[in-house]
Amino acid sequence: MASRFQGLAILPLLGFAAASCISSGDQNTINNLFKSGGAGTVVQICAGTTISVTGTITFTADNQEISTSGYPTDETRAIIQPASGSDVSMLLSGYGYNGLRVKNIQFDGLRPSLGLVKDGGATIELGQNSNGIEISNIVSKNARAWSCLHLLQGGTDTPCTNVTISNNQIGPCGNEGLNSAGVSQWADGISFACRDSLIENNYVTGSTDGGIVLFGAPGTTVQGNTIVSSTTDAGFGAINMVDYLYDGSYANVLVTNNTITGEKLFNVGIAIGAYAWSFNDDASLQGPATITNNVFSGNIPFAIGVNGWTGGLTVTGNDVSNVNSPTSGYSDANSCVAPTRDLWKQSAHLAYYPTGLTGTNNLQSGFVAADGNSTNFICTAPSLPSSISYGLNELNVGVNTVLANLHNSIVTQYQGDGNIVTYNTSTGSYVPVWASGHTSSVCSSDPSACSCDFQGDGNFVTYASGKPQFVTGTQGKGQKLTFLNQSPWIEITDSAGNVVWDTTDAN
Ligand SMILES: *[C@@H]1O[C@H](CO)[C@@H](O)[C@H](O)[C@H]1NC(C)=O
Ligand SMILES: *[C@@H]1O[C@H](CO)[C@@H](O)[C@H](O)[C@H]1NC(C)=O
Ligand SMILES: *[C@@H]1O[C@H](CO)[C@@H](O)[C@H](O)[C@H]1NC(C)=O
Ligand SMILES: *[C@@H]1O[C@H](CO)[C@@H](O)[C@H](O)[C@H]1NC(C)=O
């Protein structure tokens, strides 16, 4: 009796401790509470509080929780963000613990003001050998590295399993393209590699790599999510089933009732298979998997693209009636292989390569069959310009450079042999429509010896070992060099806008 009474007497104290919340400090404040409290420790941050960190907040035992006091779902949720001047990208981590909970709290990587972190970790990294992680009602946005939220796989006998990710607001995550230092800026919304889990009712906006990326994730259901690309930065895919993990198994994955909207562009809505993405896996990915009752709209050339799948695929009841057509109205396919480009030309929003889909399958009506190996459904780009212009000294490049990648499949390159060539690539092969004709074996053997320069004097010149090759002779007149997607392909104008040279002139 006595010991039971003591136990009860302590309860009010525990209750008081749980109700108190943190209103200042940094990652050390929180990490010390997790370390000293051990399993089951709940760390609550007071509503309206912003905690700036210079290092990662780390779970240290089973059943720990981080949340905002009172579990608000609005902007009063506490904010965890990097301190200015800090290069931390991973704000929260926890590997190998059961029952972790991340609830009603915001993580802001502050990428727009603090910049991206090359090779940094995802904003939130949880998983490995664990059961029952729950992430709900959180915000994770502006990741400084490759993902706003990453759930990491465990081993075969020590799986990461039974994760619930629900009612979260994810994004924006990343930017399109490379930065000026050549570093990739893309980021995923949710990168998911656990199994037998549930990802539901999340709002993922402005992902630039994958919105929800399944790394196999056998037994996982993805349902009721809304995935919207950014209006300013294209996203590659909304839901990815393209990565090889679990020996390629996506057994019993169910993707249903998701709403996918391409604003600027989603290259692909749901990408399915080993050859559907820009890389190729070693072997086909395997089902059985079911993709059903998803709704697509907006700018998505390939709402569903399948290549490299076996072992069962059911794709039924998906609605692509509000996907914009024709695809050429908002995208270009200059970088696509011929079979994928053919699908794009047909505005084939449901697309597959029959040879790349073996085993039992049930594809809804409306799927267009590729007549060849239609790899890489993310090969399209947002609409390209019809022309590109350079002022004096604005173009000075080495060999193997694309000078202009233009709408309607017109590409002009300064090639490895020193030749400037304009191609019409609309059929998927590179058909030359104009060439400077000046080639030099020097450029092939020593690329650094050659350059292509719209000079300060207005002359457009290629050089090999310091000797002019192709010369437009426009020194003293030329002010602007323009590449066009129609004949004459290249022209130089003077300060009054008069053409002083084009490709029909001798040189
Ligand atoms: C899954 O995790 C939840 C906690 O999120 C737990 O309550 C439940 O028992 C777990 N289920 C299984 C089958 O382990
Ligand atoms: C579909 O998902 C929405 C949330 O996006 C939810 O409100 C609705 O109940 C779901 N419908 C079905 C049939 O599951
Ligand atoms: C399609 O192309 C990919 C990449 O080159 C290749 O790995 C795959 O085997 C091809 N598929 C078929 C059916 O040939
Ligand atoms: C490029 O080639 C295609 C196919 O031959 C042709 O229809 C199109 O007009 C060409 N484009 C230009 C700008 O000449």
Q: Is residue 346 part of a domain?
A: yes
Q: Is residue 465 part of a domain?
A: yes
**Band of the pLDDT at 427, cuts 50, 70, 90?**
confident
Q: Is residue 34 part of a domain?
A: no
Q: Which ligand sits nearest to residue 431's alpha carbon?
A: 4
Helix-then-strand count for the chain, H and E:
5, 52
Going from the Cα of 133 to the center of ligand 1, the distance in angstroms, rounded, reads 8
276: nearest Cα among 254, 245, 303, 247: 303
Q: Is residue 87 part of a domain?
A: no
Can you tell me whether residue 441 is helix, strand or coil? helix
Judgement on whether residues 233 and 364 belong to the same structural domain of the protein: yes
- In Å, how far are 33, 48, 152, 220 from 162, measured between CA atoms? 26, 31, 13, 9
**Band of the pLDDT at 428, cuts 50, 70, 90?**
confident
Judgement on whether residues 360 and 260 belong to the same structural domain of the protein: yes
Judgement on whether residues 298 and 313 belong to the same structural domain of the protein: yes
Judgement on whether residues 236 and 325 belong to the same structural domain of the protein: yes
pLDDT tens string 52-95: 999 999 999 999 999 999 999 999 999 999 999 999 999 999 99
Q: Is residue 92 part of a domain?
A: no
pLDDT tens string 310-364: 999 999 999 999 999 999 999 999 999 999 999 999 999 999 999 999 999 999 9
Nearest CA to ligand 2 atom 2: 224
Judgement on whether residues 376 and 408 belong to the same structural domain of the protein: no
Pocket test for ligand 4, best of 332, 387, 407, 424 (most atoms within 8 A of CB): 424
Name the burial class of residue 254, with classes exposed (0-12), middle (13-18) and buried (19+) by CB atoms within 10 angstroms of its CB.
Answer: middle
Q: Is residue 128 part of a domain?
A: no
Pocket test for ligand 2, best of 202, 256, 257, 296 (most atoms within 8 A of CB): 257
Q: Is residue 60 part of a domain?
A: no
Judgement on whether residues 419 and 366 belong to the same structural domain of the protein: no
Can you tell me whether residue 59 is helix, strand or coil? coil
Residue 163 identity (one-letter amino acid): V
Which run of H or E residues covers position 403?
strand 401-406
Judgement on whether residues 299 and 317 belong to the same structural domain of the protein: yes
Q: Which ligand sits nearest to residue 339's alpha carbon?
A: 3
Which CATH number fits the domain that encloses residue 391?
Answer: 2.90.10.10
pLDDT tens string 138-147: 999 999 999 9
Judgement on whether residues 242 and 376 belong to the same structural domain of the protein: yes
pLDDT tens string 208-243: 999 999 999 999 999 999 999 999 999 999 999 999
Residue at a domain's end among 383, 398, 432: 383
Distance CA 443, CA 460 (A): 18
Judgement on whether residues 230 and 377 belong to the same structural domain of the protein: yes
Residue at a domain's end among 352, 383, 414: 383
Q: What ranges make up the beta strands (E) of 273-318?
A: 285-286, 289-292, 295-298, 302-306, 309-310, 313-316
Number of domains in the chain: 2
Can you tell me whether residue 115 is helix, strand or coil? coil
Q: Is residue 447 part of a domain?
A: yes
Judgement on whether residues 490 and 475 belong to the same structural domain of the protein: yes
Owning domain of residue 342 = 224-383
Q: CB of 252 within 8 A of CB of 288?
A: yes
Determine the average pLDDT of the residues in 235-258.
98
Residue at a domain's end among 383, 405, 422: 383
Phi, psi values for residue 162, rounded to 5°: 60, 45
Judgement on whether residues 306 and 422 belong to the same structural domain of the protein: no
Q: CB of 152 within 8 A of CB of 160?
A: yes
Above pLDDT 90, what percent of the chain? 94
Ligand 1 and 134: CB distance under 6 A: yes
Ligand 2 and 401: CB distance under 6 A: no
Distance CA 397, CA 296 (A): 41
241: nearest Cα among 228, 232, 231, 250: 250
Judgement on whether residues 305 and 444 belong to the same structural domain of the protein: no
Residue 506 pLDDT: 67
pLDDT at 9 over 70: no
Residue 169 pLDDT: 98
